[in-house]
Structure 1
């Protein structure tokens, strides 16, 4: 008896192919349904626009002023120093002048010649000193100082006063005084109340000094 030596039929098994198709289809379907949960789509927010203010352009700079340079005057050229020829020592000797001829006698005993008269200076007119104006004689005596009255003290003051051309006293100088109170009272009275006729020289008023003596005597 002979064994069946024919090889099995080679080819694709329909059952295996069907099972592979079912498995592959189930895997693709699972991937399709799972894709929305796994993939996240990001969308950008809507673009917003707004106006941006633009600064005005800067003002144009003024054109630079032309620089004017003052023309410098040319330096003066010093003049050449003249050369003075040296003078011989003999030329420096002074030449004696001829003597002036004096008056001569002509035999008659009279001298002849010319004489120059020297002008005589005109003397200044004398100064007439200032005099106290008699219209102000009641203003001559100063007020008695109160402190000297309380002390029952009498005194005397001698002053020099400068009388102006208007007859008013310009300055007072103390020559002597019994006390400062008597001196101050005399000074105030002289500057404010004394009046003089001004000094004159040739009829022209002139400032001049005059010495005045004031006595302070208590009245009983």
Structure 2
């Protein structure tokens, strides 16, 4: 009798490339530091969850981790809404996917 046919190889895992901010677009992603927050010396780090569409535009933006200051959180959210991203890809095909974008607000006391 003929030997059994070898089992087909399992499919390779998809090559996933997460969304990112492109250097060309980084200027539009910079948050505006609220003047009241500067006066009150408010600083912090906001993590914004952004659902980036296949076209690189932000489809959904929400605060994942607050800085503890509403003004800073909102400034970070608004910056991500203005941002343009390099879309995430699966096997080279652009797809909508979520991306956690950290935004730091640090005062330079010069």
* Matches for 1:132-211 after TM superposition, within 5 Å: 132-178=21-67, 179-191=69-81, 193-211=82-100
Give the number of the structure whose residues are more often strand, by fraction: 2
Runs of 4+ in 1 over 6 A off after TM superposition: none
* Contact persistence 2:15–2:92 (CA under 8 A): no
Rg: which structure is higher?
A: 1
Q: TM-score, normalised by structure 2?
A: 0.83
* Contact persistence 2:48–2:63 (CA under 8 A): yes
Paired with 1:132 and 1:187, the residues of 2 have a C-alpha distance of: 15
- Structure 1 stretches of 5 or more lacking a match? 1-111
RMSD between superposed Cα atoms in Å: 1.9
- Structure 2 stretches of 5 or more lacking a match? none
- Give 3-state SS (helix, strand or coil) of 2:7's partner: coil
**How far off is 1:165 after superposition?**
0.6
Post-superposition Cα deviations, 1:134-185, rounded to whole Å, max 9, x if no partner, equal 1112222211123212212222211221111111111123222221111111
Paired with 1:123 and 1:132, the residues of 2 have a C-alpha distance of: 27
Q: TM-score, normalised by structure 1?
A: 0.45
**How far off is 1:190 after superposition?**
0.7
- Give 3-state SS (helix, strand or coil) of 2:50's partner: strand
* Matches for 1:1-220 after TM superposition, within 5 Å: 112-113=1-2, 115-178=4-67, 179-191=69-81, 193-219=82-108, 220=110
**How far off is 1:114 after superposition?**
5.2
* Contact persistence 2:45–2:105 (CA under 8 A): yes
- Give 3-state SS (helix, strand or coil) of 1:122's partner: coil
